Amino acid sequence: MRVLSVASEIFPLIKTGGLADVVGALPAAVAPLGIEMRCLVPGYPAVMRAIGDAEILHRDADFFGGEMRILAARAHGIDVFVLDVPHLYERPGSPYSAADGKDWADNAQRFAALALAGARIGRGLLPGFVPDIVHAHDWQAGLVPAYLHYDEASSSGPRSVFTVHNLAFQGQFDKALLAEIGLPPRAFAIDGVEYYGTIGYLKAALQLADRVTTVSPTYALEIRTSEAGMGLEGLLRARGDAVSGILNGIDTQVWNPATDELITARYDARQLVARMRNKSALQQRMDLTVDPRIPLFGVVSRLSWQKGLDLLAEALPTLAGIGQLALLGAGDKLLEEKYTAAAQTHAGRIGCVLGYDEEVAHMIQAGADVLLVPSRFEPCGLTQLCALRYGAVPLVARVGGLNDTVIDASEMALNSGVATGIAFAPVTTPMLEAALSRAAMLYEDRASWMRLQLNGMRTDVSWEQPAKRYAALYRELAASRS
């Protein structure tokens, strides 16, 4: 069984969020189940630097107005196909925007190109790798099912799976671009790529993929409602059973407190005391008062409205009264300023590192007592999975994948010994404050707290179960191929 995955990010080559982690981890996770998965990614500068020597599998002198090559390469232990189109991808800045934060003006073409190349590989462009399934991720690869659907050259072809990692990013573009991106006029229809008068890349995928998955069962339900469907709830409801949720896992080799080179003291469930050294190392790194008794809350996150970090900013006086905060994050400038100011107002109690930093992310997971994820919505969330594995008790909003992965320390769950964290709803500042106080109270009872930590560390957060679900989906679809 062969699967081509098509995505704009793959860890560790290029990453702006959890999408990259998932795309990077899936090939190795499904390999033991007899599935050969290769990923097609754009040749961003970071990707081209990472791959070094590559084999040229295909060339086209005029692809979206410039030269294109498809390369096969191996980098960091992952086999990838790289779509090398310098006039589209060889530029500084992020994959989606220039240094000034504005989206690249030709994003419609850049990601149509990615999807078209993916669809062509799906149709057999590379004789050495003809996939049974094409698995596209997020709006950047959203046109893959559309190109497959409107290609009349052959009726048989691969089946398509589309995974939504975040419904908030939809990729909407001017309908005047339809011909330029190579779609026929009939594609611009309500049962095609048309979306409120524009071309919707995400909408196209939700409409035309054989199967749609999202990254947790709860999010798969939530997005069928107007509260979380972001305008796509009607379509998602109409797709019925074709839409399902499969939880993400994390790479348990990268995230392993027993072998982690980025933390001060390695530990496991049998010697949890060693964890205390990581707490004092984190307190030092964040300019916090070094004291093992103060409950230490951690955050590793994009700073954005989705993540509810404006609510946490409002709750800082309460938090500083009961514990400490170690925050790592980047994004919204206003939030960055708020946390920087709070670190000055509450010196010794609140610390922050602004930016993207793998080492500090590991230090927080290994040293914080509690990991906060107060998201307004969360398709899956990965940081709470890392927290479970590292014995940092997750305190989460009861939404999306957070709801599926953390068992709240209710009286009943505590008594039956299954609790792994603290969950709160609705997602408001007062409820967050109440949850912070509840965490601080639980922390006082050392024996129960350790029970929470150990339950979390025993939770299976690996890719083993999710990989089985993806494999079952691929096999079921492949069996239905015409």
Backbone phi, psi, residue 177, to 5°:
-85, -5
Q: Closer to ligand ADP by CB, 257 or 381: give it.
A: 381
383 binds ligand ADP per the rule CB under 6 A: yes
329 binds ligand ADP per the rule CB under 6 A: yes
308 binds ligand ADP per the rule CB under 6 A: no
Q: Which stretch binds ligand ADP (CB under 6 A): 195-203, 224-232, 290-298, 378-386?
A: 378-386
Do β-strands 172-173 and 198-200 pair in parallel, antiparallel, or remain unpaired?
antiparallel
Rg (CA), the chain: 23
- Which of 130, 177, 330, 425 is in the footprint of ligand ADP by CB under 6 A? 330
Distance, in Å, from the CA atom of 147 to the CA atom of 118, rounded to the nearest integer, reads 9
Residue indicated by tokens 């009607």: 234
312 binds ligand ADP per the rule CB under 6 A: no
Task: Tell how far CA 213 is from the center of its chain.
Answer: 14
Would you state the torsion angle of the CA atoms of residues 355, 358, 363, 368, taken in this order, to the nearest 10 degrees?
A: 60
Residue indicated by tokens 């409950």: 295
Query: Coil, strand or helix: which one is 94?
Result: coil
229 binds ligand ADP per the rule CB under 6 A: no
Q: Closer to ligand ADP by CB, 206 or 361: give it.
A: 361
9 binds ligand ADP per the rule CB under 6 A: no
Task: Tell how far CA 55 is from the center of its chain.
Answer: 30
Backbone phi, psi, residue 92, to 5°:
-75, -175
Query: Which residues, other chains included, contact 238 with Cβ-Cβ below 8 Å and sequence gap of 6+?
Result: none
Q: What is the largest CA-CA distance in the chain?
A: 69
- Which of 382, 388, 414, 422 is in the footprint of ligand ADP by CB under 6 A? 382
Q: CB of residue 294 vs ligand ADP: minimum separation in angstroms?
A: 23
For the chain, the residue count is 482
- The answer to whether 11 touches 24, Cβ cutoff 8 Å, is yes
- Which of 239, 302, 468, 469 is in the footprint of ligand ADP by CB under 6 A? 302
17 binds ligand ADP per the rule CB under 6 A: yes
User: How many C-beta neighbours within 10 Å does residue 172 have?
Assistant: 16
315 closest CA partner among 429, 426, 440, 422: 429
Q: Closer to ligand ADP by CB, 96 or 356: give it.
A: 356
300 binds ligand ADP per the rule CB under 6 A: yes
372 binds ligand ADP per the rule CB under 6 A: no
Q: Closer to ligand ADP by CB, 126 or 312: give it.
A: 312
- Which of 12, 277, 357, 475 is in the footprint of ligand ADP by CB under 6 A? 357
361 binds ligand ADP per the rule CB under 6 A: yes
Burial of 128 (0-12, 13-18, 19+ CB in 10 A): exposed
Q: CB of residue 381 vs ligand ADP: minimum separation in angstroms?
A: 5
Q: Closer to ligand ADP by CB, 51 or 303: give it.
A: 303
Peptide bond preceding 295 in cis form (omega within 30 of 0): no
Q: Which stretch binds ligand ADP (CB under 6 A): 52-60, 125-133, 140-148, 381-389?
A: 381-389
Nearest residue to ligand ADP, by Cβ distance, number only: 18
x/- letters, 86..125, toward ligand ADP (CB under 6 A) = ----------------------------------------
Q: Closer to ligand ADP by CB, 182 or 456: give it.
A: 456
Contact residues for ligand ADP, defined by CB under 6 A = 17-18, 21, 300-302, 328-330, 356-358, 361, 380-383
